[in-house]
Amino acid sequence: MTDKLRCILAGAGAFGRELINWARDAEITGSFPTLAGFIDDTHHKLQNSSYNLSSLGSIQAYQPGTNDVFLLGVSDPQGKESIVNLLKSKGAKFINLIHPTAILAKTATIGEGTILCPLSIVSADAIVGSFVTVNSFSGVGHDVLVGDYTTMSSHVDLTGRVHCGRSVFFGTGAKVIPDVSIGDQAIIGAGALVVRTVQSGSTMYTMPAQKLKLIR
């Protein structure tokens, strides 16, 4: 089935370059089609690089073909939604990428265009929406709900029964304790420990590292 699909990477920035690697890992196992090229509004991306992937033009101008499926190479929640809406208005279909080392529980569900990066996990009875990114070493615990377009950076831990809204961004190392709810479009900063409800649109950060003052 995957041999008949023409997979196109939408967005070739930093996260897109990571996805090229993970997609090729999955291709080796036969679970993902060969990348045919990329579209990006900055045409020179990947030029003179070792990625050996051709530019197919801009996201704005590209017209999807019958056998085209798209891999979303963008991590910003608002950017993801904008690109998805544009391409879907032209009839585009998106594909999931589940890295061979990722773990997806048989009782968990994921939506369209969702990406599970290396060594990520989606546990029992979790519900992960569409166009969600679960980056490397991150975990979605049992009975967790993750809304569409949410991005979990690396080493993020959503523990049991967390309810996460739409278009939430988690910085690396963020953790949420059980039964906590996070509203739509919230930003959870790197290293933050969330122990209570986060209102929609809020930005939550932990204390930054400080230089240790030695007492002599």
Q: Are residues 6 and 81 in the same domain?
A: yes
State which residues form the domain around 7. Answer: 2-95
How many whole angstroms separate alpha carbon 149 and alpha carbon 47?
28
Q: Are residues 91 and 102 in the same domain?
A: no
* pTM summary value: 0.93
Q: Are residues 43 and 137 in the same domain?
A: no
Strands ordered across the beta sheet of 187-188? 97-98, 115-116, 133-134, 151-152, 169-170, 187-188, 203-204
Domain count, the chain: 2
* Of 45, 78, 95, the domain-final residue: 95
Question: Does 211 fall in a domain?
Answer: no
- Cβ atoms of 117 and 20 closer than 8 Å: no
Q: Are residues 28 and 88 in the same domain?
A: yes
CATH of the domain at 43: 3.40.50.20
Q: Are residues 10 and 65 in the same domain?
A: yes
* Of 95, 112, 127, the domain-final residue: 95
Tens of pLDDT along the chain (216 residues) come to: 455 889 999 999 999 999 999 999 999 999 999 999 999 998 677 877 899 999 999 999 999 999 999 999 999 999 999 999 999 999 999 999 999 999 999 999 999 999 999 999 999 999 999 999 999 999 999 999 999 999 999 999 999 999 999 999 999 999 999 999 999 999 999 999 999 999 999 999 987 777 777 776
Q: Are residues 90 and 108 in the same domain?
A: no
Q: Are residues 83 and 114 in the same domain?
A: no
How many whole angstroms separate alpha carbon 203 and alpha carbon 117?
25
Q: Are residues 185 and 109 in the same domain?
A: yes
